[in-house]
Each structure stands twice: as C-alpha cells, then as structure tokens.
C-alpha cells in the first residue's frame, strides 16, 4: 500500500509567525530516518487507499503519551495545533488523520511486533548522546492496572497494606546516572520481581541497585553473568552483637536506597504525566506497546533535558 505525501504547504498571501515549541527541539533530537526504516513494513498491502506515513503516525502516538490524549483528543489537537503538525510533518493546511487511523496503526504495530525494536533503536541513539560512562543500573518494577478486569492476559496481585490490583507489571532497567530507561520486560502482575528481573538487565550493567525483592541467586547470578555487581537491599544480617549488626545493615542499605530511589521518579512521571496509571487497551501485546511507547516518550524528553543542562 502506498503512503500519502504530506508536508506540502499551499501558496498563500499571509505568512503566519511560527511560535517556538519544545516539540521543535524534540524533532531534531533523533535521526528519524532509521526509525522510518523500521516502520516501513507497515501497510504492506498492495491494494487500497494510500495510508498515512507510518513515521507521522508514530510521532502522533508520542504526542498522545506526552500530553495524555485519547485517540479522539489526539485527532482534534493534531488538526488544530501548529506545533503538533510540524512535529509530525504535516503542513498547516492539509488534512490530518482521524481517530480510527490511530486504532489501525496500533493494530499494525502489534501485528508486526515492532514496539520493542522501536524502543531499542530510539534508546540506542539517545544513549549515544547522553550517556558518557556507564557506572550503574537501577532495576525495579511497577504494577499497571489493566484496562478491564475481563482482560484474560492480566492477573491479580496483592501486596501487604495495599489493595489488590488486576493488571500487568513493567520491569525496568535504567541508567543510574542519567535515569534513561535501557531495558524493559512486561509480564502479568503476579510474576515475582526477582524472577523477571534478569530480563530488565542491560549489557554491562555495572553496579546494579535493587530492593529486597531481588534477593536470591536467580537475579544475582544473572547480574554476574552480564559482568555486573549486585547491590541489593538486605533485610537482615547475622552477628553476635545486635547493635553492631544493625549498624552494618544500615551502612549497607543506605547507599543503595539513596541511588535506587531515582527509579521511582521514572515511574512517577509515567503515571502522573503520561497516563500510565492503567492500560488503555486489553491484551498483553497492546499493553507491551503502551509501555514501550511510554518509555520512548520519556527517554526523548529526559535526553532533551540532560542536553539542555549540559549546554
């Protein structure tokens, strides 16, 4: 299926003044050609009406994450806001996708299983700009409620002192210095953190900071296998003198708590700002798409802030 040609301005008599937008800076942050190459297999049918360019649709989904927009609100904003149009590559006067176009595009992403490939490709570019020396990795997981309790791929989980949640779990490995998300694994909510933790480890992780849920040989062996050193919160130590043992336990745990706490800001941003309080769609595959898109959107904004601070 051919793609529509977009971005052609029509002749006019009045030139509108362009207001500056953070989206213009975000648009210059990546080599989007490599992302477009990954999206090229979408809409591969030989017949039918020309499809919207996949890269424009992908950028539109990032906008929906940054601004926490439903498909309806995204279509309205893309039609109305000049900065949204520029970011996606649309000119000021041409038509933009309707709500159902985003539904079909997500279905294509799920069908071609491109969400993880897109996350890895974008993250590799951003790390080359922001990460200078790899010193450590933060590993943790967050529970995300399912779109519906009828979702057969989600599971119930209950933690002490908290209400039961039906949903999924995102296991995340992030750079300890920049807080860029490097690896993601998505499971149902009832999977133990330590069991799924190895899937969230990047290569050469350095010192790996994690809470007590990651105690045990399964996770620690995986850290060593990748050349890292486990720094796991301890819940107890053996010793003859109680006060001396408690002092050693505190000395071990305090530096780990201080570093690993940074990953909570990532989860907070995802949930408070990017709408990941619950999944928008049913099914494991669509849940994975939402988490990976959220991580891409977060990494782009985070890298822009890091580079701005350096400048």
Task: Give the model confidence (pLDDT) of 132-148 as tens digits.
Answer: 778 899 999 999 999 99
Does a structural domain hold residue 233?
A: yes
pLDDT band at 46 (very low <50, low <70, confident <90, very high): low
The mean per-residue pLDDT over the stretch 239-243 comes to 79
Q: Which residues of 266-293 are buried (b: 16+ CB within 10 A; e: fewer)?
A: bbebbeebbbbebbebbbbbbbbbbbbb
In Å, how far from its chain's centre is CA 132? 21
190 pLDDT tier (thresholds 50, 70, 90): very high
Does some domain include residue 64?
yes
**13 pLDDT exceeds 50?**
no
In a domain, 16, yes or no: no
Distance CA 305, CA 265 (A): 15
Percent of the chain with pLDDT over 70: 92
Is a pLDDT exceeding 80 seen at residue 3? no
CA–CA dist 107, 51 (Å, integer): 14
User: If pLDDT is split at 50, 70 and 90, which confidence band does 65 have?
Assistant: very high
Using the 3D structure, point to which of 112, 135, 169 is the last residue of a domain: 112
> Do 198 and 82 lie in a common domain?
no
Domain check: are 158 and 254 in the same one? yes
Q: 179 and 42: one domain? A: no
In whole angstroms, what is the distance from residue 54 CA to residue 37 CA? 10
Mean pLDDT of the chain: 91
What is the pLDDT, as a whole number, of residue 50?
A: 81
- Residue 259: give the domain boundaries: 115-310
Q: State the virtual CA torsion across 108, 113, 119, 120 in degrees, nearest 10.
A: -140
Q: Are residues 152 and 74 in the same domain?
A: no
Structural domain contains residue 14 = no
Same-domain pairing of 234 and 131:
yes
Task: With respect to residue 1, please indicate whether it lies within any of the assigned structural domains.
Answer: no
> Tokens 């995986």, residue?
222
Rounded to the nearest angstrom, the gap between the alpha carbon of residue 119 and the centroid of all alpha carbons in its chain is 7
Does residue 232 lie in a domain region?
Answer: yes
Is 265 found in the same domain as 161? yes
Any domain includes 8 = no
Q: Are residues 130 and 97 in the same domain?
A: no
For residue 235, pLDDT beyond 90: no
Structurally, the chain folds into a number of domains equal to 2
- Do both 119 and 108 map to the same domain? no
- Virtual CA dihedral for 103, 109, 110, 113, nearest 10 degrees? 180
- Same domain? 96 vs 164: no
Could you say which of 112, 134, 161 is where a domain stops?
Answer: 112
pLDDT at 15 over 80: no
DSSP readout, the chain?
-PBPP---PPP-S-PPPPPP-HHHHHHTSS-HHHHHHHHTTSS--SSSSPBPPHHHHHHHHHHHHHTT--HHHHHHHHHH-HHHHHHHT--SSS----HHHHHHHHHHHHHHT-HHHHHHHHHHHHHHHH-SS--EEEEEEEEEE-S-TT-TT-EEE--TTS--EEEEEEEEEEETTT--EEEEEEEETTS-HHHHGGGGPPSS--EEEE-GGG-SHHHHHHHHHTT-EEEE--S----SSHHHHHHHHHHHHHHHHHHHTHHHHHHHHHHHTS-TTB-SSSSHHHHHHHHHHHHHHHHHHHHHHHHHHH-
Domain assignment present for residue 286? The answer is: yes
Q: Tell me how crowded residue 295 is: count the other CB atoms within 10 A of its CB.
A: 27
Q: Are residues 128 and 229 in the same domain?
A: yes
- 234 lies in the same domain as 151: yes
Which carries the bigger pLDDT value, residue 2 or residue 76?
76
**Are both 103 and 147 inside the same structural domain?**
no
Distances (CA, A) of 260 to 47, 205, 209, 248: 52, 14, 6, 19
Of 60, 80, 112, the one marking the end of a domain is 112
pLDDT tens for 243-298 read 888 888 899 999 999 999 999 999 999 999 999 999 999 999 999 999 999 999 99
The first and second tokens of residue 279, run together, are 């999944």
């Amino acid at each position: 299926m051919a793609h529509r040609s977009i971005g052609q301005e029509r002749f006019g008599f009045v030139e509108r003044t362009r207001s500056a937008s953070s989206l213009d800076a975000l648009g210059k942050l990546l080599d989007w050609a490599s992302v477009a190459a990954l999206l090229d297999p979408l809409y591969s049918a030989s017949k039918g009406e020309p499809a919207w360019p996949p890269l424009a649709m992908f950028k539109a989904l990032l906008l929906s994450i940054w601004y926490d927009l439903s498909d309806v609100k995204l279509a309205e904003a893309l039609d109305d806001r000049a900065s949204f149009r520029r970011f996606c590559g649309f000119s000021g006067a041409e038509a933009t996708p309707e709500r159902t176009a985003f539904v079909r595009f997500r279905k294509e992403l799920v069908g071609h299983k491109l969400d993880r490939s897109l996350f890895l490709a974008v993250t590799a570019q951003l790390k080359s700009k922001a990460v200078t020396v790899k010193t450590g990795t933060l590993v943790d997981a967050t529970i995300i409620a399912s779109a519906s309790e009828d979702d057969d791929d989600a599971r119930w989980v209950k933690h002490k002192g908290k209400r039961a949640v039906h949903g999924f779990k995102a296991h995340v490995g992030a750079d300890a210095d920049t807080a860029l998300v490097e690896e993601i694994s998505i499971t149902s909510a009832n999977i133990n953190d330590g069991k799924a933790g190895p899937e969230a480890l990047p290569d050469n992780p350095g010192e790996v900071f994690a809470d007590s849920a990651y105690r045990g040989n399964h996770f620690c062996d995986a850290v060593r296998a990748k050349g890292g050193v486990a720094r796991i919160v301890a819940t107890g130590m053996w010793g003859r003198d109680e006060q001396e043992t408690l002092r050693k336990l505190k000395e071990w745990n305090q530096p780990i708590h201080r570093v690993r706490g940074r990953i909570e800001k990532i989860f907070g941003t995802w949930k408070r700002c990017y709408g990941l309080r619950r999944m928008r769609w049913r099914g494991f595959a669509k849940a994975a798409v939402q988490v990976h898109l959220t991580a891409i959107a977060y990494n782009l904004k985070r890298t822009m802030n890091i580079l701005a601070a350096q400048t």
